[in-house]
């Protein structure tokens, strides 16, 4: 009896056959209604929120348990098919785009908050839990989940883990890696393993840290122990406006140089501020070249000192207005404006390309000048909104994809933004990941030896690169990716 026959004999065959052995096995292991093959579903899940096309999904599975993810992985192994995990599809680097018609494992039905363990300071959650839903559940208990991406109303914890997501308040609190204690993972071989643990100093290598940010290339997370962050006793939120983006950027550098680490420091230029104000009506000044949103938190007796010092530094950098949010309502409205900035650009054009690089704070002003020059060279509109405190830039290229040749200009400008960031001593990504967007630039940041060691680590988890092939590592440094993609059958899935 062949391996395939033995597998089918074990899982049974309760579902009617489709003529496709892969689909039949998946439907027998899950249920027919949770394995989709129609063109509409495959087209929808063939894309993410990035501007990158070319995805081709195979059968789409919606597991509801770790055991079902195990079965999917074992079926993939039997059929020699690749597997791509997917959450809400809000990724902006093409990391969830399926290449070569793989099995797509959508974890959006795994949405349980399994346990809130206050004694150990963690909550065990499934990967499909929405980021903001988790904080809403924790808030009455006096806690929240600190990473707060702008997409937190829709993005999933599994996606946050995959991309090591950040957010405005990660300046002081750290990105996702700092807030994950343990991860239950189904390996590409179908084994269930636990990475990390609740001990303060787990034994052995930090494989949990390796998995966070691996973009689905090492396996699929099925349970995550996220750390509980206590709600802040007091908060002060400052809004400052400036006559130039450079003055706002210099204020950020000077605040950090003064030894103050705010919870958040966000900058928006005039173009995006005007769009946000028209969209939300948060009270932002629309005549300023840039606005800086800074927030400090902690005990009442300390935060006013920091808030006053930040305001003083802002005025020293020619701030034209300094305002402190009067109450929680005003504070929430200011943050609503910042968090909906990307949605606000729909007033201007139907499409946008949101970039993500990190530069030294001392280079912020110069790199921003170069970004505006890049926009002019390519006849494009670029707006800037970014996590200024840690130098995480988010240039927003706004365009209409129906215009002839515009996508070529958009991608060319995006490449120049990456090059300008690297030339300033920056790195490729702060929170969006590498995906397919920055894959070809990896050898600009890493040596051949660096990339080879990264590939060895990946193959220790996944010797044949079955998990999310064709992502992150350049093809020349991951021959198994090329072999895997070539081995995928075409025909109905092509």
Are 434 and 445 in contact, with CB atoms under 8 Å apart?
A: no
The answer on 138 and 117 residing in a single domain is yes
Among 17-21, 35-39, 279-283, 316-320, whose mean pLDDT is lowest? Answer: 17-21
The answer on 221 and 164 residing in a single domain is yes
Q: How far apart are CA 279 and CA 268, in angstroms?
A: 15
What integer pLDDT is reported at residue 14 of this predicted model? Answer: 47
**490: exposed, middle or buried (C-beta count within 10 Å: 0-12, 13-18, 19+)?**
exposed
**What pLDDT, in 10s, does the model give residues 465-479?**
999 999 999 877 665
Q: How far apart are CA 244 and CA 376, in angstroms?
A: 18
The answer on 161 and 241 residing in a single domain is no
Residues near 340 by beta carbon (within 8 Å), at least 6 away in sequence: 150, 276, 279, 280
What integer pLDDT is reported at residue 9 of this predicted model? Answer: 56
Q: Which of 201, 230, 259 is the last residue of a domain?
A: 230
Are 389 and 253 in contact, with CB atoms under 8 Å apart?
A: no
The answer on 238 and 326 residing in a single domain is yes
Task: Indicate the pLDDT class of residue 203, thresholds 50, 70 and 90.
Answer: confident
Q: Is the pLDDT of residue 259 over 80?
A: yes
Q: Which CA distances in Å does 118 have to 143, 184, 229, 230?
A: 10, 19, 10, 11
**Structural domain of 204:** 113-230
The answer on 336 and 237 residing in a single domain is yes
What integer pLDDT is reported at residue 63 of this predicted model? Answer: 98
CATH number at residue 290: 3.30.70.2190
Over the chain, what is the mean pLDDT? Answer: 92
Q: Is the pLDDT of residue 16 over 70?
A: no
2 vs 391, more confident: 391
The answer on 341 and 264 residing in a single domain is yes
**What pLDDT, in 10s, does the model give residues 336-375?**
999 999 889 999 999 999 999 999 999 999 999 999 999 9
Q: Which of 290, 316, 345 is the last residue of a domain?
A: 345
**What pLDDT, in 10s, does the model give residues 74-132?**
999 999 999 999 999 999 999 999 999 999 999 999 999 999 999 999 999 999 999 99
Each residue of 162-193: b (16+ CB within 10 Å) or e? Answer: bbbbbbbbbbbbbbbbebbbbbbbbbbbbebe
Among 189-193, 268-272, 282-286, 339-343, whose mean pLDDT is lowest? Answer: 339-343
User: Length of the chain, please?
Assistant: 494
Task: Indicate the pLDDT class of residue 54, thresholds 50, 70 and 90.
Answer: confident
Are 359 and 423 in contact, with CB atoms under 8 Å apart?
A: no
**How many separate domains does the chain show?**
5
The answer on 226 and 125 residing in a single domain is yes
The answer on 172 and 248 residing in a single domain is no
The answer on 379 and 305 residing in a single domain is no
Among residues of the chain, what percentage have pLDDT more than 70?
Answer: 93
CATH number at residue 173: 3.30.465.10
Q: Is the pLDDT of residue 1 over 50?
A: no
Average pLDDT score over residue span 27-34: 96
Q: Is the pLDDT of residue 19 over 90?
A: no
Among residues of the chain, what percentage have pLDDT more than 90?
Answer: 88
What integer pLDDT is reported at residue 4 of this predicted model? Answer: 47
**Residue 393: closest CA among 420, 360, 362, 356:** 356
Task: Indicate the pLDDT class of residue 53, thresholds 50, 70 and 90.
Answer: confident
**What pLDDT, in 10s, does the model give residues 413-428?**
999 999 999 999 999 9
CATH number at residue 368: 3.30.70.2740
**What pLDDT, in 10s, does the model give residues 429-457?**
999 999 999 999 999 999 999 999 999 99
Q: What is the DSSP secondary structure assignment for residue 317, as one 8-state letter?
A: T
What integer pLDDT is reported at residue 231 of this predicted model? Answer: 95
The answer on 363 and 337 residing in a single domain is no
Average pLDDT score over residue span 149-154: 94
The answer on 158 and 146 residing in a single domain is yes
What integer pLDDT is reported at residue 7 of this predicted model? Answer: 47
Q: Which of 199, 230, 261 is the last residue of a domain?
A: 230
Dihedrals φ, ψ of 186, to 5°? Answer: -95, 120
Q: Is the pLDDT of residue 483 over 70?
A: no
What integer pLDDT is reported at residue 486 of this predicted model? Answer: 46
**Residue 151: closest CA among 140, 162, 159:** 159
The answer on 87 and 121 residing in a single domain is no
Task: Indicate the pLDDT class of residue 8, thresholds 50, 70 and 90.
Answer: low
Are 434 and 95 in contact, with CB atoms under 8 Å apart?
A: yes
């Amino acid at each position: 009896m062949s391996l395939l026959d033995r597998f089918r004999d074990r899982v049974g065959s309760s579902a009617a056959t489709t003529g496709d052995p892969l689909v039949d096995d998946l439907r027998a292991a899950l249920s027919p209604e949770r394995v989709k093959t129609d063109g509409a579903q495959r087209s929808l899940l063939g894309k993410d929120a990035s501007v990158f096309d070319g995805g081709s999904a195979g059968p789409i599975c919606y597991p509801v348990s770790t055991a079902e993810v195990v079965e999917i992985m074992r079926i993939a192994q039997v059929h020699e098919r690749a597997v791509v995990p997917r959450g809400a599809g809000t990724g902006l680097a093409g990391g969830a785009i399926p290449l070569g018609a793989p099995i797509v494992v959508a974890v959006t039905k795994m949405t349980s908050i399994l346990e809130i363990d206050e004694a150990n300071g963690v909550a065990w959650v499934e990967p499909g839990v929405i980021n903001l839903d988790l904080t809403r559940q924790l808030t009455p208990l006096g806690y929240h989940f600190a990473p707060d991406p702008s997409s937190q109303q829709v993005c999933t914890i599994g996606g946050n883990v995959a991309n090591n997501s950040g957010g405005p308040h990660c300046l002081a609190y750290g990105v996702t890696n700092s807030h994950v204690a343990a991860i239950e993972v189904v390996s590409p071989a179908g084994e269930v393993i636990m990475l990390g643990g609740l001990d303060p100093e787990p034994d052995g290598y930090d494989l949990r840290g390796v998995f966070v940010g691996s973009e689905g290339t090492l396996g699929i997370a099925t349970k995550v122990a996220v750390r509980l962050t206590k709600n802040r006793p007091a908060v002060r939120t400052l809004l400052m406006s400036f006559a130039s983006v450079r003055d706002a950027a210099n204020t950020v550098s000077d605040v950090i140089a003064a030894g103050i680490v705010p919870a958040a420091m966000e900058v928006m230029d005039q173009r995006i501020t005007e769009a946000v104000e028209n969209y939300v009506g948060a009270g932002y000044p629309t005549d300023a070249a840039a606005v800086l949103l800074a927030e400090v938190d902690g005990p009442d007796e300390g935060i006013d000192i920091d808030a006053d010092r930040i305001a003083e530094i802002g005025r020293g950098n020619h701030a034209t207005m300094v305002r402190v949010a009067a109450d929680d309502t005003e504070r929430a409205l200011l943050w609503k404006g910042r968090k909906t900035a990307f949605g606000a650009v729909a007033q201007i054009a139907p499409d946008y390309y949101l970039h993500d690089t990190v530069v030294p704070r001392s280079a912020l002003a110069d790199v921003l000048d170069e970004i505006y020059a890049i926009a002019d060279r390519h006849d494009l509109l670029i707006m800037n909104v970014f996590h200024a405190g840690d130098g995480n830039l988010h240039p927003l290229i706004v365009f209409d994809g129906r215009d002839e040749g515009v996508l070529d200009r958009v991608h060319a400008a995006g490449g120049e933004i990456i090059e300008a960031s690297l030339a300033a001593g920056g790195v490729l990504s702060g929170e969006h990941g590498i995906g397919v967007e920055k894959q070809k630039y990896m050898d600009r940041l890493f040596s051949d030896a660096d990339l080879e060691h990264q590939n060895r680590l990946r193959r220790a988890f996944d010797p044949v690169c079955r998990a999310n092939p064709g992502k992150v590592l350049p093809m020349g440094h991951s021959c198994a990716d090329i072999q895997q993609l070539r081995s995928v059958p075409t025909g109905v899935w092509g």
